[in-house]
Amino acid sequence: MKKIFLPIALGTAMLTLAAPTWAAWSHGPFRHLVFRNIGPAVAGGRVTSVVGVPGNRNLYVVGTAGGGVWKTTNGGDSWKNVFDHEATMSIGAVTLDPGHPDWVWVGTGEANPRNDMLNGAGVYFSPDGGKTWKNKGLNQVGQIGAMAVNPDDPSNVFVCALGDVWKKGPMRGVFMTRDGGRTWKKVLYLNSHTGCSDIAFQPGNPKVLIAGMWPLQRFPWLLVSGGRSGGLYRSLDGGRTWKKLTHGLPKGPMGRSAVAFAPSQPETVYAVIQAKGGVLWASHDGGSHWQRVSDNHNDDVRPFYFTDVAVMPNNPERLFMLSMKLMESTDGGRTSFYTDPGVHVDHHAIWIDPHDPDRIIQGNDGGVYLSTNGGKHWRFLGNLPIEQFYQVAVADRIMPFLVCGGLQDNNAWCGASSDYRRGGVVGAQDWFQISGGDGQYVVPAPSNPNIIYATTDDGDLTRFNRMTRRARSINPYVRDILTGDILSGKVLAKQKYRFDWTSPIAVSPNDPNSIYIGADVVFHSTNGGRHWTVISPDLTRDVKAKQGPTGGPVTKDISGAETYDTIQSITLAPTNPHVIWVGTDDGWVWVSRHGGKHWTKVTPSGAPQWARVYHVTVSPFHAGTAFAAFDAHELGNNHPYVFRTDNYGRSWHRITRGLPDASVLVVRQDPNDASLLMAGTMQGLYYSQDGGRLWRPLHANLTTAAVFDLQFVKTLHSLVLATHGRGMWILDDLRPIEELTPVVARQPFHLFHASNGYILYASHTNSVGPSHFRGPNAAMGVVISYYLKQALKPTPKDRMRHETPVKIVIADPAGQKIDTLWGTAKAGVNEVAWNLVYKGPTALQLMPPSHGGFFGGNFGPRVVPGIYRVDVTALGKTMDATARVLPDPRYPVPLSTYRANTQAGLEMRSNLSALNTVLNRTHAIEMGLAAVMARAHQDAAFRHAHPALIKEAVALNKTLAKFEAPLWNPKTQHTVSEDFLRHYTRLHMHVAVLYGMSAFSWGGKPRAQVLALIRHDHRRISGVLATFNTRIHALVQHWNRLAYAQGLATLPIGRPVTFPKVPALPGL
């Protein structure tokens, strides 16, 4: 329904060179890298369209403001994004063909035109439920608020296009196709600033349609919603011609409108209209005559942002009005009441099952909610990672490092980048709220990450103490924080200070109490926000004409989202605390080299006037190198504007070659590699390996979601992305991108530096339900990365041995082998994680490999912290790298403790390997004997020919059973969890449990009792080996001599079983 310092000089000739196309790099060397999406799916994100299939309680499709299209086939327990790689992730409408539920139409471009709305890219169609998509055109119509498919003719589709709201133009109105989207005809067009807000067929009569037409213009500083061209239009001939409806409708200017027919009474139609003197109108003759039903503002609080209505399929008097709250009426709209307390506010989409009206799904700013009892109760489907982040900050003094950011209408949050207790990052269990409202900047103090600062909408500033869990307001100037009329009682132009919707903050890297916030001036506090000093003049253009009321002419909307002439970005130079860079939302760049005492305007020439400087960032190597990203999309200009200076702004160079024709929001420089830049754009992530001369898309497994901000984690060589619609993403190891030079790329094979590995302690906790979103963890170990110019195919011998063409050997400094791994052999960069353990004990063949686990012993003891060698062999060439294994930085544990635990684990590995080998050999002998006895049972001739041998086989089998009985219980179903509780412990289980305790014990040296048990087990196993190597060995050899003499196959016995050598630990 709805929905390191590196100066560069770039000449102009360089800027005109042809850039490589997006497609040319879609299969580049980094395509196999994996970003982790950690959600958080804790607070949701804006949902613009929801739809289901009548009678199917499990299938729903959801469109989101910046996160694409999602589909569930199990009632919302899990979701799959089916629109990750199209030209935009902004969705305005999703519609299913009534007769073919796998036929999905998507209109891109959210049509709730608030300040963070993202651009559309036309109409898409899927014939197979979202598996594949085809662009059906209308790529220039901007925002699409609704679509309608003719129930009698699926090739007849109507598109309700609001248009590009940032500029006037003819591509708006109602478009129709009669050939499934091959061609389109504009059938309803009024003027260059009036688009379509809604469209609906009359039930049972597809000749009749009603559309709402909406005059709308947006500017960074102003929203104009409504005009004389607004209103309702009807077609009686299937969309060919249209006539404005006037009888009983408002006479003055009208803005956004929504229409809904009553399915059970098709002549009844309702309309919510942004107009003076009314909210809801009704017609009982198909739209010819109307009457005002209600002027209850609860039904449409902010018309430009909400405005929708739905009618119960089985009751023409029961309505739902989508507003800040979901309002319900049971008397045809004359009265209404709040029907979903506890549900997130700001409603945008609703779908009611026509076959089962008790089943309702709705979308709002907080995500998706489902009711199965007609709206009495609602279930939050809190597993969609569709968060709309404005900004990201990290704290790498914490391990796993902390990630923080502000969410559109969903508060300000911080969370762990990994959670090894739960096997992944899980919603509210790993994220904690800093402040409420529309979260914007959230910044932990670099020198003390337990102190966190956050701004929400309009510069509302909070200081949060993570240790006490207490927050306090530290606004520098309270009267103007919540926008003129709310507190100060004055329009913006008359206020003392102006705070942006996304007011920036910066915290000193050395002092957690030194904080800066931008308004139209820069405020600075040296005591954590208790007192503030203005340290700059007004740094904006301060054009009073752009500081007036907004929202009219019908109704004002003064939320502060259009506050203009403000500071958009503040950055402190890491190498010089006196250097401060500032960017404004009206297009100016400033720098102070004296801690704010003096300021110099250094705006680059060629930058678009009035465009917001979303981020001006400074090099971590030199305070005079900065990058300014100008976002002009709110001026109707979607071109990229990125500039670089290496001399404090005295001169700038535009660095956009290779970037998409889309706004760039942020550029940052890698603190480990001055030549590597990353750019967040409205169409995903781009990188430059030459300081900005050339950009390429970094696809990997990323979506095309808008990247509003990004941060490097220097200590880990990691990258964190804040997307506006798909939450947070983390690339854990940037080394391949940092090190893949053109020289390296020409080599057939190359090994990069390995990442550090941390031995992290994680106490396991109860898991979460299957319907929770769980973001994957970073690899718990050393990441080994290598490059192959071409893919390598395994040989038949490789396949037989379960090996690959890439061999990886881990060894300690003495050359003792720790383990052997086999890596992927794809073209480009490959990554393999070594999990910081020795090779496991000899596998027990009595159990399937997948059930080795605790009792099968398919894992090895942890290594001790230290330096290890990695040898990678491919194409006949071996390259080596150093792997540094570090202790858990959170807990001070002596190295001697790590060594004592690893030593105990290695000794128990030897014990378990020896016992497993005996059991494997015994089992192999038993299988041979079983074959002989089975043949004797089935073959009379064999039985009569070898009676003595058969008798010996029976006797030997009994002896083996007695030998094995104390070691292993065949009655236990070892693949069944906890089935061992039915029986008393045998030796193997005792040894396996003790091995698990020893191999992964942590925090203290093994207790004396554990060491005594290890010695005890060793003695017992020594006795088992002695028996097997003498008595059992002799009996099998005796039987083999008899079998050999009679021309029969012998039993496997092998050499005597011994304890594997316990390797010496690496020297200190």
How would DSSP label each residue in 610-627? T-EEEEEEE-SS-TT-EE
Q: Can you tell me which residue has the tokens 């589709």?
A: 157
* Paired residues of 980 in beta bridges: none
pLDDT at 14: 28
At a CB cut-off of 8 Å and minimum separation 6, what does 133 contact? Answer: 83, 86, 106, 124, 125, 126
Say what the pLDDT of residue 12 is: 28
Helix axes 895-938, 987-999, angle to 10 degrees: 150
Q: What integer pLDDT is reported at residue 766 of this predicted model?
A: 58
122-141 in b/e form (b: 16+ CB < 10 A) is: bbbbbeebbeebeebbbeeb
In this structure, the number of other CB atoms found within 10 A of the CB of residue 530 comes to 11
How many residues appear in the chain? Answer: 1068
Angle between helices 947-964 and 1033-1045 (to 10 degrees): 160
> From the CB of residue 876, how many other CB atoms can be counted at a distance below 10 Å?
7
User: No. of H helices and E strands in the chain?
Assistant: 13, 66
**Of 484, 1053, 385, residue with least CA distance to 776:** 385
Chain centroid to CA 578? 36
Q: Which stretches of the chain score pLDDT less than 70? A: 1-27, 479-489, 764-770, 848-857, 1068
Task: Tell me the residue type at 527.
Answer: N
Residue indicated by tokens 């080795």: 852
Maximum Cα interatomic distance, the chain, rounded to a whole number of Å: 113
Q: What are phi and psi of 787, to 5 degrees?
A: -115, 135
Instruction: Please give the torsion angle defined by the CA atoms of residues 420, 425, 428 and 432, in that order, rounded to the nearest 10 degrees.
Output: 80
Q: Residue 308 in 3-state DSSP?
A: strand
- Nearest Cα to Cα of residue 639 among 693, 668, 682, 695: 682
Are the folds of 34-380 and 757-766+773-886 the same?
Answer: no
Side by side, the strands of the sheet bearing 460-465 are 439-445, 448-456, 460-465, 470-473
Q: For residue 243, what are the CA distances in angstroms to 156, 160, 210, 543, 835? A: 20, 16, 10, 42, 70
d(CA 809, CA 915): 26
Q: Do 483 and 560 form a contact (C-beta atoms < 8 A)?
A: yes
Q: Are 386 and 773 in contact (CB under 8 A)?
A: no
Provide CB contacts within 8 A for 363, sequence distance 6+.
3, 46, 47, 48, 49, 50, 62, 347, 348, 349, 350, 369
0.85 exceeded by pTM: yes
Q: Contact at 8 Å (CB) between 256 and 225?
A: yes
Tell me which CATH homologous superfamily contains domain 34-380. Answer: YVTN repeat-like/Quinoprotein amine dehydrogenase (2.130.10.10)
Q: Where are the domains of the chain?
A: 4-33+566-571+596-648+657-731, 34-380, 387-565, 757-766+773-886, 895-1045
DSSP per-residue string spanning 311-322:
E-TT-TT-EEEE
What are the tens digits of pLDDT across the range 588-609?
Answer: 999 999 999 999 999 999 999 9
Q: What is the pLDDT of residue 15?
A: 29
Do the Cβ atoms of 445 and 478 come closer than 8 Å? no
Cβ neighbours, 10 Å, residue 301 = 19
Adjacent-strand bridge partners of 433:
413
Omega of the bond leading into 553 within 30 degrees of 0 (cis):
yes
For residue 857, what pLDDT is reported? Answer: 45
Q: Where are the beta strands (DSSP E) in 496-655?
A: 505-507, 515-518, 522-525, 533-534, 551-553, 567-572, 580-584, 589-592, 600-601, 612-618, 626-631, 641-645, 653-654
CATH number for the domain running over 757-766+773-886: 2.60.40
Beta strands of 330-395 (E only): which ranges?
A: 337-338, 347-352, 360-364, 367-371, 379-380, 393-395
Query: Is the separation of the CB atoms in 704 and 84 below 8 Å?
Result: yes
φ and ψ at residue 522, rounded to 5 degrees: -100, 125
Q: What is the pLDDT of residue 44?
A: 84
Strand, coil or helix: what is 679? Answer: strand
